[in-house]
A and B are shown apart, each in its own frame.
Chain A
Amino acid sequence: MKLLSRLLIPLGLVASVIAAFTFLQLESAALLSRDGLGQMAAYASGFMSPDLSPAHLQAIGLGTLETLAMSAIGTLLAALAGLLLALPAAGRFGLLPQATSRLLLNALRAIPELVWAALMVLAAGLGPNAGTLALALHTAGVLGRLFAEALENTPTQPGDALRMAGSGRIAAFCYGTLPSLWPQLVAYTLYRWENNIRLASVLGFVGAGGLGQMLYMSLSLFQEAQAATVILAMLLMVLAVDSLSAWARQRWVRS
């Protein structure tokens, strides 16, 4: 049995790889021929001289700000919606609301941001508004689930004590439960914001604003020089966010 699985799994893997190659019928010969490579090189050489004119740089600066704004507002909306959905999902209002809100959270989370963005562009028109809504919808699903788990694991005694001393439900939640929950909520939200900055820059490919839309436009107009600058800006933004978050993590989260 062990020998069988030891042989079968690698054989299955190799067979599926071969099947995948034959299914796609990649024209690698055409791609790797002198002609194909020459065309690729000609196309790539257009990107070697990025457009650094002040007007274009200003447009990119605006696009970067738009991307950051989309991610920040989208994450904030998502945190609010996530908290509202997390309360029933953690079982605070009984079983039926719990099951419904969990289903809703899973559905929101399972659909990728870009698909949400394509749907939102249909629903709300082109522009950063659609991107913000798309980020908010997907992130609400992710944060809602994380918040619900945090809510379930938080100690209930402070809230219970307040309730027994006669305070209302809302006051007991705000002054009994929230203080111990707060740091976790903030940490999760910041982490998702970091992810969303990266995502917000590509949502524009389906028309949802930000740097992505600039890149899509300039590639559609065959302006390789302008496109190269946008890609550089994206690269810089991703590297900056990465190093900033690594630094912040070392500075504050070292346990």
Chain B
Amino acid sequence: MLNPALARRDPAAASRLMLTLLAVALLWPGLKLSELDLGVLFDGSNADTMGTFLSAFWPPEHSAEFLGLLWQATLETLAIATVGMTLALAVAIPCALLATRALSLSALSRDGRPAWWAQVFRWPVRGLLILLRSIPEIVWALLFVRAVGLGPTAGVLAIAITYAGMLGKVYAEIFESVDPLPARALLGAGASRLQAFFYGVLPQATGEMLSYTVYRWECAIRASVVMGFVGAGGLGQQMDLSMRMFAGGEVASMLLTFLLLVLLADLLSRLLRWRFA
């Protein structure tokens, strides 16, 4: 049996201590760069301002005039998400058709693998989709606010562009993941690519496409609230204004509205997905 004095010591203590020290040494410059300082939060004047701001959160603002404004802003947020998604669909579907390997003619005689030159022709569309979705939507929103002015148009365009990139990529992958034999049979029998798509691919892909689209619509609602902070309209823009005026009650009711909206969108999207899937 082990020496009891020895057994009380953790045998791995030394290596754990070294790992911890190494991690701290690596993170130390990060701590400097991020200027982390929790003390600021409890600093005299700062804490006072925040205290009054937070104490105004209860009761949430509920005058009739403000509620009317809130209703308008909420509708605007929903409309931005819906219109943005519609435009995104209009761009995403043609792009997905161009980018997918599922409708490749050269793949017919090559066991499902397109010829190299056919893949080269697909790359520009794929690259475009990557570019569209890799820049965050809020960056697009900021750019469009400068280009077309404050308001919902910038939000709509930003959602349309980013979500076109995401939907296009996912749709192309869905088309490739379904059973390829019906489309190949149609293509082999002389159908055009669009005919092969509509009768060979689409019937199998509809459920998955719809459920992903509804999920993305839900994300678009959240994104359109966030984009309001750079001036792209909707609930976020009102929230930004109220925060700048330190109107705690208004911020509280808007946060509550936002939570409610997200909850309802989640419910609706679950309902629709359950119906379609």
Contact = CB atoms under 8 A, between A and B. Distances in A.
Interface string A18-60: 0111011011000100000001100110000000000000000
Given A23-B79, A115-B239, A235-B135, A76 B40 contact: no
B76 interface: yes
A103 B78 CA distance: 27
Contact of A5 (B30, B243, B275): B275
The size class of the interface chain A forms with chain B is 35 or more
Given A20-B78, A23-B75, A122 B138 contact: no
Contact of A72 (B30, B38, B135): B30
Contact of B82 (A9, A17, A40): A17
A123 interface: yes
Nearest to B39: A124
Interface in B116-161: 131, 134-136, 138-139, 142-143, 146-148, 152-153, 156
Interface in B83-111: 83, 86
A220 to B, nearest CB: 9
A24 B239 contact: no
A73 interface: yes
A20 B83 contact: yes
Interface stretch (A85-93, A149-157, A158-166, A199-207): A199-207
Interface string A109-149: 01110110011001111011101110000000000000000
Interface of A: 5, 9, 16-17, 19-21, 23-24, 26-27, 31, 39-40, 43-44, 65-66, 68-70, 72-74, 76-77, 110-112, 114-115, 118-119, 122-125, 127-129, 131-133, 175, 198, 201-202, 205-206, 209, 215-216, 219, 231, 234-235, 238-239, 242
Interface of B: 10, 27, 29-38, 40-41, 46, 49-50, 53, 75-76, 78-80, 82-83, 86, 131, 134-136, 138-139, 142-143, 146-148, 152-153, 156, 222, 225-226, 229-230, 239-240, 243, 246, 255, 259, 262, 272, 275
